[in-house]
Structure 1
Amino acid sequence: MKLKSLNKLVRRDNRSIQHKLLTIFSIALVFIIGVNIAMFVNISTMMNSLERIYVSNLNLDELLSSLGEVHNSMTEYLDTKSSDSLDRYYRADQTFRQYLDMLNTRTVDDEMLMAEKNIYNLSQSYLKIVEETVNAKRGRDVEKYSERYEMACSQYSVVETFIYSLNNALFRSNNREYNVLLTSLKYIELVNIAILIAATMLDIILVYAFTGNIIRPLRNLSDAAKRVSEGDFDVEIEQSAEGDEIGILSGTFAQMLKSIKDYVARLSESIRNENAMKEKELMMESRVKDAQLKYLQAQINPHFLFNTLNAGAQLAMLEGADKTTVFIDNMASFFRYNIKKLDEDTTIGEEFSLVDNYIYILNVRFAGEIHYQKSVDESMLGVKVPSMILQPIVENAVNYGIRDIDREKMIEVSGTDRGDHYELSVWDNGKGMSAERIEEVLSGVYTPGKSASGPGSNGIGIGNVCGRLELYFGRSDLLDIKSDGEDSGTEVIICIPKTEE
């Protein structure tokens, strides 16, 4: 019944969730803190009582120790008559008197307190005898200080015996009191634990009663949100009658769900329209490409070009022009590769053959001024790669690296099996490149001049090679450029990943 009444109270409460939670946790916190303070005060009182039990024994131990210090310092002075021993005696005497002032000096109906009074009186008598002994020693009265010293030793034994007796009696009494308090403390601990458990359970019940009506709408809203995330937009949102943030959130969520439904409908219609437009564009693009291809074929018939070059090679052979024959054969091979292989896969071996043809043609054109070296591992000659990835790099090395230098022009092309990948390298001893220019070329920002697409060029640059390598292998880190700067040459490295056939 109490829980129901609490829930009704929460339902009628139109305050914000912050105020509700603050009220709930404030009540719970005050309740728990109050119980803990009561427990702490109770236990602290018991602990203070335990600590005070043996204080009297400690005081008597200190009194006995200071008594021994007085006697020992007096004896030392009588033996040595030094100023240090005399000073030690006065300090010990002062300390002993301070401890004596803590003893009872009144006549009371208590055996222990009367024993303290006796110790006090005996100690005062002892101190007087010791003082007379020291003064007699300082006055060189041998007979007197010997007599007083014997009296002091006798009185010391009596005081010491009284202190021992009182200390033992106090210890027995304190031990009985300690056991009683310890038993009471254990009992109080058990009672406190029971109270704490009961307070915690009551606190949990109070929190559950107050938060139940807050959490339930949130749980319903969470379940609805989960169904929406799974694609079910036909969820019925239970509208909260509360005027707090949860009621506002429920209404907003319902409105948002309606907006999502409308948006999904509009998006679906838009996607259908967009797909239809893309299909039309693809059809138009395909037709344009077909038209372009037919136009190019109408301009240059590849078979006619190859037959003409072959006829020229045969004519040169009949005339005994061997060099012309080789040149025409290389030209034919070069153009055949350019036309047939651009959109097909090729091998590393075929790429190196194309570079051989290209360098041969350039050396005929430039009177053999390009010194060309190549080395390639035979194990990688049959590896499949996209076509036209090596010759454009060599062409760039010629056009932008070695063409205008005055020294010997060198190009080295190599292929190496690096274990986990194949490495293709094109090196020249030309102008070199700055770090900024390398960054521009690799990022596609730098655009070379018209000479790159002029006579003797296939129109394929480094950016094109990078793009086709990325499309072919699915990686964008396969080409790198290295150079130490101006007039230091350039090396372009292509990484060919090893893939299982």
Structure 2
Amino acid sequence: MNKIQKKILMITSVVLIIMVVFWIALTLFSHKTQNQYNEILQRYLSMNEVSRASQQVLTDLNNYMILSSVENLEKLEESKEQVESAKYEIFKLRNTENNFSITNYIHLIESFIETTDRLLLFQEEKDTEASAKEFSEANRISNYISEMTLSLIDTELNTYDRFYRGIIQQSEEFIKLGIWSLLLITFILLLVTYWFSLSIIRPVQKLTKAANELSKGNFDLQIKVDTNDEMAFLARTFDRMRININNLILEIKHKAGLERELQQNKILLQESQFRTLQSQISPHFLFNTLNTISKKAYLEGSEETSDLLVSVAGLLRYNLKQIDRAVTVEEEVAVINQYMHIQKARFTERLQFSFEIDKEALHVRIPPLTLQPIVENAVIHAIEPKEDGGHISFRVQDNIDQVMIEIEDDGQGMTAEKIKQILDEQMSPSEGHSTGIGFSNVVKRLRLFYGYEDVIDIESELGRGTKVVIKIRKQGGEIDAKAPNRG
């Protein structure tokens, strides 16, 4: 049996017990009143029985005197016994108020019986005159008995009048008590019923509210019911369902986010290739043309122009590679050399560039076109605006747990707000660079490639230059080195 059924059974049992107690009390009071009425009525009947029995004896005496038969004698004896029996009942009616009257009444009955016995004796002796005399005496005593019976009944009526009034008053008080008891019981039952209904309605209201919130997509409302019945179990089950649905939705969102990131990774890794394909001149044709011009310049004795064209062709060839595969740091360093050779030809002595390369770290895998856009950013923002040029340093260090790549310039620096925009990947995809790959794009590709957020850091202040630090964890670098392709 469940808890709610037990509560209903308990309330029903209490109602039944109260009704039974009330019915028993009413029955007992009614039975007591009825017994009191019966007792009074029995007193009147007992007195009246004496008068009736004495009259019957007179009638039987008269019949026996007329005809002294055995049958009439038996009837007379039977009537005498009734008088004797009635006399003993009169003894029970004695109390302090009627003691004297009852005593005289009993003496009259005894005198009547003695007179009847003498009449029978004279009748047996055939003494007619004495029999007639005794019959007259018996008749006189019977009349006295009838008169005294009426007197006693009248006395009893006067005596028990107060008792009658007391019974009536008790009945009225009992009726008032019954009404108040019913009102009190009704009030208590209403309170109990209200409390019981609240113990069911409140959890249902909470569940209804929670269901409405769930239908609106709000899964943060906790469902708590402080009861100890099936409604609490239902609330706990509903709350677990809410948590499970919420977890499922979060898992779906997480998977969708991963799908979106993977898709963005693909798009970002192919972005350079797509931008190159937008050119109206075929890159392969341009690459072959640059090679031809380079050879012609070399044959004509312009070695410096030839070297410059070779660097441009090498940079172009690197950009034509498949953008969806990983490269080594060594390949990226070679591209930076070619890029800086071109920029040195452009800025001459205004551009100072230094390399510090730890050869043990050159095998580490890295996304293509990662370092060159950062160096290009330094050239654009640190070298071009200054008339006397500037210095860019490039360092690759092989530490115990990670490989550090640092690109530092002595330019004008940048604000903390711009650093935050870059690291939050909120800058424009293309910031006027020749490669068409922006700084924020590089940050996003590095994070997607290595799978952690702190892969890149920027240290800069206005007027004090900028240092970009790329931190490649060795475990991640070794794993990436084993993977030839990375989407």
Structure label with greater radius of gyration: 2
TM over 0.5: no
- Please report the TM-score for the alignment, with normalisation by the length of structure 1: 0.42
